[in-house]
Amino acid sequence: MERYYVEKCPRCGGRVIEKEVTEVLYGGVNTAILRVKAGVCLLCGERLYAPEIVRKFEDIEMKLEQQKTAEFKPLGRSYQVVF
């Protein structure tokens, strides 16, 4: 899947390069961590995603919210610490 990003950041005008980034998605009480390619500004760090990646994020968030996580690989456990 080829991606095209703008050369200049729409936020600050800095140079944008393609990098692999870690994205954390939330849905209800569930969390998903994934590695995806994004256009990243070298000055401000703004991340730019291809439309198909954004649609995939939305799909994953919906599945997390609806507890439809059977296709996802478990990765440890999460805990809430109250003090």
What tens digit of pLDDT does each residue of 41-61 get?
999 999 999 999 999 999 999
**pLDDT value of position 43:** 98
Rounded average pLDDT per 10-residue block, the chain, 83 residues: 77 97 95 96 97 97 96 88 94
Q: Is residue 69, in this structure, part of any structural domain at all?
A: yes
CA dist 41 and 31 (Å) reads 26
CATH number of the domain enclosing 27: 3.10.20
- The whole domain housing 24 covers 1-76
The pLDDT score that the predictor gives to residue 80 is 82
In a domain? residue 83? no
Compute the half-sphere exposure of residue 3: CA atoms within 13 Å on the CB side of its CA: 20
CA distance 11 to 43: 10
pTM over 0.95: no
Q: Does any domain span residue 81?
A: no
**pLDDT in the model for residue 4:** 64
